[in-house]
Amino acid sequence: LPSALATTVYLAGDSTMATGGGGSGTNGWGDYISSYLTSGTTVSNQAVAGRSARSFTREGRFNTIASDLSSGDWVIIEFGHNDGGSLTPTDDGRTDCPGSGAEICYSEYDGVNETILTFPAYLENAAKLFVEKGANVLIASTTPDNPWETGTFVYDPSRFVAYAEEAASAEGVEYVDHGAYVASIFDSLGETEVDAFYPVDHTHTSVAGAEVVAQAFLKGVVCAGLGFEKLLSTESFEGSCL
C-alpha cells in the first residue's frame, strides 16, 4: 500500500492491554482490535505489563512511539491499574503525584531524585507530544477489575477514569469511557461467564475475556462517533450505547 493509505495504531498501556497480559495464559485487549480494522491499518501494541503513566514516561516509551510514528497515525493511551498507591514510605516507581492538575511531587526512586506529575499531566504531555508529530490521539479510561468478584455486580470506577476524561478534554483529543463499556457488557453477560474471563486474579483477562474487552472499546468508539471509527471494517458490536 502507498504509505499515505497505510495507518499504524500505536497502543500505550499496561498488562490489561499488553501482549501476554499478566502472564499465566492471560492476554491484554490490545491484541484483539486488528481483526476489526481496515486492511491498510496495522496495530503496534507497545503496552507493557506493570507500567503506569509515570513509569511509561520515565522509561521513554512515549518518546519511542513519538519517534516511530508518522503523521496521520493513531495512538491509544490507557493507564490506571498501576497508578495508585503511595509515594511513602517506599516509592515503587509507578505511583503518580496525587491530584488532577499541575501538582508536583518529589521522590527518590532507584537512586535518582524524580519530579513526579499527576496522572492527567502525564497523559496530557503524551497527547501533546503525539499531536505535535501529526498523530491522532485517543485516551481510554481504565478497564475494571472483575465487577462480579463478590457475587454481586458492582462497578465502581476508580478516580483514574475521570482523570482520563479530563486529560482528553484538556488536550482536545478523543475519549472513550472503556471502563463503562466493559462494565456494561460484563453486567449483561453475567457472573459465570465473566468469572471465567479471570482465570488467575481479578485484573488479568483470558484470551476470551480480552476479545470482549477489545470489542467493548470499539463499541465505545462507534457510539461516540469518533474519528477512529473510520479505521473500522465493521460497526457491529455487542452491547448498548451508553
Q: Which residues are catalytic?
A: 15, 201, 204
| DSSP helix/strand/coil, 3 | coil
The closest of 198, 196, 195, 237 to 215, measured between CA atoms, is: 237
| DSSP helix/strand/coil, 71 | coil
| CA dist., res. 223 & res. 229, Å (int) | 9
Would you give the distance in Å from CA 236 to the centre of its chain?
A: 22
Q: How many CB atoms are located within 10 Å of the residue 73 CB?
A: 22
| CA dist., res. 164 & res. 78, Å (int) | 8
The closest of 129, 10, 132 to 73, measured between CA atoms, is: 10
The closest of 191, 163, 198 to 177, measured between CA atoms, is: 163
| CA dist., res. 69 & res. 181, Å (int) | 28
